[in-house]
Amino acid sequence: MVALADAADPRHFGAKAATLARALVAGLPVPDGVVLAPDTARSVEDGTADVLGAVMARTDRWNGTLAVRSSAVGEDGPVASFAGQHVTRLGVRATEGALRAAIAAVAGSVNSPHAVAYRRAMLGHHGPGGLEAPAGPRGCDGVGRPIGQDGSGRVNDLGGRPDTAIAVAALIQPLVRARASGVMFTVDPVTGAQQLLVEAVHGLGEAVVGGQVTPESWRIGRGGVIIGGRRGRQSVAIEPAPGGGTRERPLTGSESAGPCLEPGALRRLTRLAADCRALFGSDALDIEWAWAQRRVWLLQCRPVTA
C-alpha cells in the first residue's frame, strides 16, 4: 500500500492512479487516496493479505464513505478507453468486511466476460504484451502515451496477452458527495473541434458513465466563452446510501427545473481543463470531475480515444 501521491509509476499502479498521483503532486484538486498494488489487491481478494488494518487506519481520517476504483496496467490509452469495463464501488463503508468485498470485486473484475471481450476487440496485439505501440499523441505516462511504451516505440510486456488477466491495482479515496458530476472533453471527441464539451448530471457521475440519463451539456470556447448548452433528461440522482453503497433519489422540483451547473462551476471546469492540458502536455483529454461545496474535484484524466 502506498499513498496516492507516491503511486506515480503506471507500470506498478496503473494509468488511473499514476495520472492522479501526478496531478495531486502538481496541486490539482484530487481527493486524497491510497493505492494497493496488483499483487496486494489480488491477495485481498483471495483472503491472504494482512493490509486492511493499514488501509482502515489511513481512511479513518477521511470521516466518510469511500470510493474503491480499479487502476489497471495498460488501460486507457489512445486506442481504447476502459471506462465502465472494470468495477467501481462507491459509498463503501470503512469497515474490514466492506473494504475486503470492494477490493475483491475490483481485483476480480478484470476477468469478467465483458472486460475480456473488450480487450480482445479493442486492443488486439496492441494490448499489454503486444508487439508494436499504436500511433498516437505522446505525453506523460498514463495520459497521451500508450502504457508500457518506451523510447524505442515498442511496448513492454506488462502482463500477457490481451485475452488473459492483466494487473489491476485498487485505488481507494474518500467519496466526494457531489452536487453534480460528469465528464469533460478538452476537444470535441467526434469532430476534433477545439472546444470544451462538458456533460453533467445531478449527483454522482456513475449515471453518466452507465448511460442511465441524458446529461446536460455545455460547449465552451478556449477563451472561456460559453458557446451553447443543452438541457438534459434526468428524473433521479445517484447518491450515497446511509447504510453503504448508493441509491437513486428523485430530483427535487428546483433540480428538475434548473441546470446542474451554475456559471461559477463552468468557470472552474474551464480552469481545470487548462491545468490538465498544461500538466500532461496534451490537447485531447477525457476528464471525470465532481462539483461539491462550490469546489471542483478531478476524479480521472485519460486520453481521448481514437
Find residue 30's DSSP bridge partners. none
Q: Which of 16-25, 132-141, 197-206, 261-270 is modeled with the greatest confidence?
A: 16-25
Cα-based distances in Å from 63 to 59, 70, 138, 171: 7, 22, 39, 17
Run of H or E residues at 116 = helix 113-122
Domains in the chain, start-ordered, CATH in brackets? 2-174 (3.30.1490.20), 180-303 (3.30.470.20)
> What pLDDT score does 137 carry?
31
Report angle CA 77, 83, 87 to the nearest 5 degrees. Answer: 125
C-alpha grid cell for residue 226?
Answer: 460559453
User: 0.85 exceeded by the pTM?
Assistant: no
Are 207 and 284 a contacting pair, CB within 8 Å? no
First and final C-alpha spacing in the chain: 34
pLDDT in tens, 45-102: 777 667 888 899 988 889 889 999 999 876 544 444 555 556 889 999 999 999 999 9
DSSP string, 3-25: EGGG---HHHHHHHHHHHHHHHH
State percent of the chain over pLDDT 90.
Answer: 53
> What pLDDT score does 84 carry?
53
Amino acid at 67: A
